[in-house]
Amino acid sequence: MKKESAALRFVLLEDDPNDAELIQLELARNGVQVEWSHVASKPTFLDALQAGDKPDLVLADYTLPGFDGLAALKLVLELCPDVPFIFVSGSLGEERAIEALKSGATDYVLKDRLQRLPTVVNRALTEARERRERRQAEAALEEQRLLLGTLIDSLPEIVYAVDTEGRLTVVNRALLDTLRKKRENVIGKRLSEVWQEETIVEIEAQAANTIRTGRSLTDQERAWITADGSVRWFTFTHVPLRDHGTVNGLVCTVREITNQKALEQEILEISNREQRRLGSDLHDGLGQELTGLSLLLKGLEMQLSREAQQYTAQITKITDLLAHAIQSTRSLARGLAPVNLERGGLPEALKHLAARCTDMYSLQCSFSYGGQKLPDLEEGAATHLYRIAQEATTNAARYARAKAIDIDLRASGRKLQLTITDDGIGLSAGLAQGRPGMGLKIMEYRSRMLGGTINFDEPGKGTRIVLSAPLHLLRQTKPKRLAVGG
């Protein structure tokens, strides 16, 4: 690339020396610094085009002996198509001028109007420079596009971009492999048109909301049953694409976390099994032993009432204390293993929770169960649901100063919904008073483990907590998990 101060190299195809001198003088008079290559035949013209760097401009007469300007133009278009070509002729009529421009000439100047030549030359050089810079910018953009495409194609996560209409504009290899489709069969379509999963419709709705609000959506977990009946888990992230502040699309990523969720579930299940074991030991071990001791005391109390009545009062006190210990042991055992699938399952456990909440906090806590018949739930899932209800009722009683709490469980369609409503001071007021918020995070975590969502609302008075989860992820007999990447 020439420096700004360097002279321009022009090739002048002209058989008349006088005309050639006039052309050179006209440009020199207007301050254009030029290194001239004056030629008058085809061989010398070819040599001038191919000698060293390409010329910056070609000026040519239209009619020459044995070699015409159109033939010269054809050679320039073949050898250096970026170089401007200007006809300078005295015999160029209107029809020939139009023909020359259609053939690829940049412009033309009549010899009797050479005063136009500097303007035409400067314009041609400017346009050539702009075209060259535009091509360089396009080449740089294409290079970046190829680099970006290579990078996202190498990622194990699914990456794609959509426009404001939700149509795919960029997809990476991971998505194409998942869909088992070619790129040209995916670009321009909506994700739900090429990915036949029920959850995708919900994801598209979230993407539309992100485009509307401009707020990113990160690490949203979703689970679905694949064609072979296995459960797979994914996280979705939506990040708005902006052009001068206006959202014009989204970049979306999908990451499979099936193995991670399986590990988390196993860790929780280990904890739940240990709690159930402790609860069983308390109930069947210590609880039974205390019950046996209570029966012995009853016998002793009856005997002492006949033989040594002075000890009856003390025995009665011991019996009452032992009865209280038995009740505490049973409560503790029930707390460690709150859901017994063989004795009423989740509905019965929530019924006991409502009764215990009423007794413990001296308020009205009720449980209602409606909708379609609840299928048999997996014990870990049922325990998650119970713990969420337990945390919600505890928060309402202790921190929200509620007087009434309602626990509602119902199955509808393919969803299970658990709703806890109270008439307390509200969630915001409780948090504003510095109440602990870890319980809310644990409730959210448990809902994600169930593949569901949980919402915290304040409908004018009190708080309403609604958990919604897909029933197929909660059933007692779950299909075997598919290995990741299957």
Task: Pick 8-137's CATH classification: 1.10.10.10, 3.40.50.1110, 3.40.50.2300, 3.30.1360.170.
Answer: 3.40.50.2300
Least confident of 121-130, 362-371, 375-384: 375-384
Q: Is it the case that residue 97 has pLDDT exceeding 60?
A: yes
Measure the CA–CA gap between 72 and 82, rounded to whole angstroms. 15
Query: How far is residue 158's CA from residue 353's CA, in Å, rounded to a whole number?
Result: 43
For the chain, the domains span: 8-137, 153-258, 345-485
H, E, C per residue of the chain: CCCCCCCEEEEEECCCHHHHHHHHHHHHHCCCCEEEEEECCHHHHHHHHHCCCCCCEEEECCCCCCCCHHHHHHHHHHHCCCCCEEEEECCCCHHHHHHHHHHCCCEEEEHHHHHHHHHHHHHHHHHHHHHHHHHHHHHHHHHHHHHHHHHHHHCCCEEEEEECCCEEEEECHHHHHHHCCCHHHCCCCEHHHHCCCHHHHHHHHHHHHHHHHCCCEEEEEEEEECCCCCEEEEEEEEEEEEECCEEEEEEEEEEECHHHHHHHHHHHHHHHHHHHHHHHHHHHHHHHHHHHHHHHHHHHHHHHHHHCHHHHHHHHHHHHHHHHHHHHHHHHHHHHCCCCCCCCHHHHHHHHHHHHHHHHHCCEEEEEEEEECCCCECHHHHHHHHHHHHHHHHHHHHCCCCCEEEEEEEEECCEEEEEEEECCCCHHHHHHCCCCCHHHHHHHHHHHHCCCEEEEECCCCCEEEEEEEEHHHCECCCCCCCCCCC
Q: Is the pLDDT of residue 461 over 70?
A: yes
Number of neighbouring beta carbons within 10 Å of residue 287 = 21
Kindly state the average pLDDT of the residues 272-286. 65
pLDDT of residue 341: 66
Same fold, 153-258 and 345-485: no
Average pLDDT over residues 284-301: 72
pLDDT at 271 over 70: no
pLDDT over 70 (residue 222): yes
- Tell me the pLDDT band of 444, cut-offs 50, 70 and 90: confident
Which amino acid belongs to residue 163? D
Average pLDDT over residues 469-479: 69
Answer whether residue 273 shows pLDDT above 90.
no
Is residue 5 over pLDDT 70? Answer: no
- Specify which of 264-268, 303-307, 427-431 reaches the highest per-range mean pLDDT: 303-307
Mean pLDDT of 419-443: 74
| Confidence category of residue 417, pLDDT binned at 50, 70, 90 | very high
Mean pLDDT (whole number) for 89-102 = 83
379 pLDDT band, cuts 50/70/90, is: confident
pLDDT above 80 (res 291): no
The pLDDT value given to residue 478: 44
Rounded percentage of the chain residues whose pLDDT exceeds 90: 29
Provide the pLDDT for residue 356.
86
| Of residues 168, 165, 159, the one with CA closest to residue 187 | 168
Has residue 433 got a pLDDT over 70? Answer: no
Kindly tell me if the per-residue pLDDT of 118 is higher than 90. yes
294 or 39, higher pLDDT: 39
Assign 1 a pLDDT band (cuts: 50, 70, 90). Answer: very low
| Per-residue pLDDT band at 293 (split at 50, 70, 90) | confident
59: pLDDT strictly greater than 90: yes
Any idea which fold 345-485 has?
A: Heat Shock Protein 90 (3.30.565)
Write down the pLDDT at residue 337. Answer: 61
Distance between CA atoms of residues 357 and 392, nearest Å: 11
Which structure tokens are listed for 369?
């169960």
> What number is the average pLDDT over the span 373-394?
86
Mean pLDDT of the chain, nearest integer: 82
Least confident of 112-126, 224-238, 368-382: 224-238
Residues for the chain: how many in total? 486
| Residue 483: C-alpha distances to residues 126, 196, 254, 269 (Å) | 62, 20, 17, 20
User: Is residue 483 pLDDT above 50, yes or no?
Assistant: no
More confident residue, 214 or 326: 214
For residue 388, give the nearest of 467, 319, 317 by alpha carbon: 467
pLDDT higher than threshold 70 for residue 279: no
Q: Over pLDDT 70: what percentage of the chain?
A: 85
Given a cut of 60, whether residue 484 has pLDDT beyond it is no
Confidence of residue 426 (pLDDT cuts 50, 70, 90): confident
Give whichever of 3-17, 190-204, 360-374 has the largest mean pLDDT: 360-374
Segment 298-308, tens digit of pLDDT: 777 777 777 77
Sign of CA dihedral 29, 32, 34, 39: negative
The confidence score (pLDDT) of residue 188 equals 93
Tokens, residue 280: 């069983």
Name the architecture of domain 153-258: 2-Layer Sandwich (3.30)
Among residues 151, 88, 144, 143, the alpha carbon closest in space to that of 121 is found at 88
